[in-house]
Structure 1
Amino acid sequence: MNTIYINARFLTQTVTGVQRYAIELVKEIDNLIDAGEVDGTKVEFCLLSPANVVTHLELKHIRHRIVGRLKGHVWEQLELPFYAKKGLLINLCNTGPAFKRNQVVTIHDASVFSYPKAFSFAFRSWYQFLTVRLGKISKKVITVSNFSKGELIQHCKIAAQKVSVTHLGIDHIHHRQAAQGTLEKYGINSPYVLAVSTMNPYKNFKLILEILPQVKAQNLSVVIVGSKNSKVFSNHAVNDSEGVNWVGYVTDEELKALYEHATGFIFPSLYEGFGLPPLEAMALGCPVIVSSRGSIPEVCGEAGLYFDPHHPQEAASRLVEMMSDPELGQRMSIQGKEHSAFFSWNKCAKDTVNIIMSTV
């Protein structure tokens, strides 16, 4: 029986888009084994992680082993290769051992090359080296959009035939129960536009402050979900401003409640490898106003209203357009639900397993 090891360092990290992808993908591969769509008698999947696990998965067929004494990057570079030496290693979150050849890696984007000033020097330098290195030595590279594939080929000189695209799924949002009392907990007592992201400069949150007068003119406030990581991102802050409620990091159940009660969703990013939040909003019937940059048009299709993220007035116009036409908002809500349904973790898992099996 072949053993396929999965780098489960993501279980030790705060859940953002990259960790969400890894968690949902592993759960769905476990479901495929359970349904007999992956032959568990011929191949065994095994999660390997350091001891400082914060996310625990309930899996029927995929084993989870805690190995080594270290943690973080040091664990990943020094101990993980030793424990995975007898099999293929799958890395789902941009990083992996720099000197193991029998591995597959998912690289979500090339932001450290396209927007280097958005990251600290240490983070940028390490990730630029590691992305190029993994692209060169890994058997296969998976990425999450055709946009990201083009970026990786351009910046890292990875051979096109080595890179496969698997879109993320959205169905996880339907498996959560919206948390009761979320609006009261965060002091939200008026109609609002929701924004969800990390506080990275290329997420372009300053645009929201620039259009705040127009937002207020529509009798709306802004609720921002996301946390700033100063170890990763260079100095940048969304200053406290009247009409903006920055709630920070919330649970999945609270996030679902915020999506469901929002009048609209705004996503002003200058760069995205995929862009999961707009799809999550769509899946819950929340109309989305989104940037026309990066992978966002590829992901959102015709179900969103687009604006140039370098032109705040255009974003404000889209917001006014949606608010002044209830029929448009209703139509966007329906289109969003229909469009998001095409993105499933089942398809993502099947495509990923096929790529993995082609290397075994």
Structure 2
Amino acid sequence: MYKTIAFNGKFFGAGPTGVHKVAEQLIAATDALISEQAADDVDYALVVRNSVKVPSYRKIMCVQENPLARRMHRIIWEQCYLPLARRKDFILNLCNLGPLCHRDSATMIHDAQVYSAPDSYSLGFRLWYRFLFFFIGRRHRLIVTVSEFSRNELVRYGVASADKIVVVHNGCDHVLQVRPDDSKRAALGLAPKRYVLALANTQKHKNIGILLKAFAKPEMKDITLVLFGSAKQADFEEAGHAVPANVKFTGWVSDAELVGLMASAGALAFPSLTEGFGLPPLEAMALGCPVVAAPFGALPEVCGNAALYADPFDADAWSRQMITALDDCAVRQSLISTGRRQAGTFTWKQAARNLFDAVRAVTPAYPR
């Protein structure tokens, strides 16, 4: 019988990423879920390596390891110390990786892009992740992923068998709890509804280059492309892209600034060639921002009929669809209303419930 369900908190204290955001939201939603249930004889813990500030939880206790563990390299801590310290527990790993030697584990693998989009990652990164995925998929009791598309990809690339993988869609309702900050939009001089928002990411599969080509077209000269994130103009130019004059870069943005930008944007453009889930389009929909996406990866599964779609290799198609999203009032209102409904079906409470239903199935001692 498992004494404790332990969340692997290695990601706390690391730089913010989309995967880390998902893990934080799932842990918070799980805490709320188990707080509603009757008392049981299983404890819940979030095990972190560093003395970092973590949210306060009602039922999940935070365990910060001893000074020796804090000095360990992150990989050593996860692969050696964590499974030894938690050898009697069931470990939940929510950020792709987990300790190989701890069989009583469930690991959330968000996508198979180290296989399907190898050019987006360094050789060392690809080899390390493929090595770990190979053993995690075979040794851990449960593999969780975020879409049917990702499940099929993980099976296709031999990470795990289909009967071992459970889909737990992400939620997006966290953005509704964030108070918008319009300071970034004001600083960039952006007119509401006259700019398109997209990721500032040079990874090949994110395909932002097609947007740069679309915004170089004459019909787009009065619309601004706003790229949010860490990549700068020089990064895109070094990658061989020409950056038109009507493109602006925000640099790093806080959650509140991003919500402010999404709420005032004319549209969010998401031209990825593959995507394990695609959280930004749902976040935009929840905030009433129309979405133009590529019909690739999990995007059709996640966005449904609430987005406009464009061929990810056709710049003309992107310019047409973005102009439609901004200037066709009937289409725009339809996208906003259907987008809100679509986003409303993806909640963190439901994600937490699905996750723990899956955990119950592989841990019979877990109370029902």
Is the structural similarity TM-score above 0.5?
Answer: yes
Q: Is 1:315 aligned to residue 318 of structure 2?
A: yes
Q: Equivalent residues in 2 for 1:17-36 (5 A)?
A: 17-36=18-37
Which of residues 67, 71, 74 is equivalent to 1:72? Answer: 74
State the secondary structure of the residue aligned to 1:11: coil
The one-letter amino acid paired with 1:254 is E
What's 1:345 paired with?
Answer: 348
Q: Is 1:152 aligned to residue 154 of structure 2?
A: yes
State the secondary structure of the residue aligned to 1:224: strand
What's 2:235 paired with?
Answer: none
Q: Is 1:275 aligned to residue 278 of structure 2?
A: yes
Which deviates more from structure 2 when the two are superposed, residues 43-52 or residues 127-136? 43-52
Q: Is 1:332 aligned to residue 335 of structure 2?
A: yes
The 1:65/1:236 distance shift into structure 2, 3 A limit, reads: farther
State the secondary structure of the residue aligned to 1:104: strand
Q: Is 1:59 aligned to residue 61 of structure 2?
A: no
What's 1:193 paired with?
Answer: 196
Which deviates more from structure 2 when the two are superposed, residues 340-349 or residues 150-159? 150-159
What's 2:44 paired with?
Answer: 45
Pairwise CA RMSD: 1.9
Q: Equivalent residues in 2 for 1:67-106 (5 A)?
A: 67=65, 68-69=69-70, 70-106=72-108
Which of residues 290, 305, 325 is equivalent to 1:287? Answer: 290
Which deviates more from structure 2 when the two are superposed, residues 133-142 or residues 71-80? 71-80
- Separation in 2, partners of 1:292, 1:205: 15
Q: Equivalent residues in 2 for 1:84-233 (5 A)?
A: 84-189=86-191, 191-196=194-199, 198-214=201-217, 217=220, 219-228=222-231
Which deviates more from structure 2 when the two are superposed, residues 212-221 or residues 123-132? 212-221
Query: Paired residues, what number?
Result: 352
What's 2:366 paired with?
Answer: none
Q: Is 1:255 aligned to residue 262 of structure 2?
A: no
Work out whether residues 201 and 236 of structure 1, in 8 Å CA contact, stay in contact via their aligned partners in 2: no
Measured after TM superposition, the shift of residue 206 of structure 1 is: 0.6
State the secondary structure of the residue aligned to 1:211: helix
The 1:58/1:277 distance shift into structure 2, 3 A limit, reads: same
- Separation in 2, partners of 1:114, 1:193: 28
- Separation in 2, partners of 1:10, 1:103: 17
Which of residues 359, 362, 365 is equivalent to 1:359? Answer: 362
Work out whether residues 197 and 203 of structure 1, in 8 Å CA contact, stay in contact via their aligned partners in 2: no
- Separation in 1, partners of 2:104, 2:272: 35
What's 1:232 paired with?
Answer: none
TM-score w.r.t. structure 2 length? Answer: 0.91
The 1:94/1:215 distance shift into structure 2, 3 A limit, reads: farther
Measured after TM superposition, the shift of residue 320 of structure 1 is: 2.5
The 1:262/1:76 distance shift into structure 2, 3 A limit, reads: same
Which deviates more from structure 2 when the two are superposed, residues 191-200 or residues 167-176? 191-200
The 1:295/1:197 distance shift into structure 2, 3 A limit, reads: farther
Show CA shifts across 1:71-93 (max 9, x none): 42222112111121111110001
- Separation in 2, partners of 1:318, 1:270: 17
- Separation in 2, partners of 1:189, 1:197: 20
Measured after TM superposition, the shift of residue 156 of structure 1 is: 2.2
Measured after TM superposition, the shift of residue 33 of structure 1 is: 1.8
Measured after TM superposition, the shift of residue 215 of structure 1 is: 7.5
Which deviates more from structure 2 when the two are superposed, residues 74-83 or residues 88-97? 74-83
Measured after TM superposition, the shift of residue 298 of structure 1 is: 0.2
The 1:175/1:71 distance shift into structure 2, 3 A limit, reads: farther
The one-letter amino acid paired with 1:137 is R
The one-letter amino acid paired with 2:173 is D
- Separation in 1, partners of 2:200, 2:21: 13
Which of residues 257, 266, 269 is equivalent to 1:266? Answer: 269
The one-letter amino acid paired with 1:10 is F
- Separation in 1, partners of 2:84, 2:187: 47
Work out whether residues 143 and 149 of structure 1, in 8 Å CA contact, stay in contact via their aligned partners in 2: yes
Show CA shifts across 1:164-210 (max 9, x none): 00110011000110114231234435721001364322101111111
Structure 2 unpaired stretches of 5+ = 233-237, 364-368
- Separation in 2, partners of 1:127, 1:239: 32
The one-letter amino acid paired with 1:5 is A
- Separation in 2, partners of 1:29, 1:327: 40
The 1:49/1:341 distance shift into structure 2, 3 A limit, reads: same
The one-letter amino acid paired with 1:61 is K
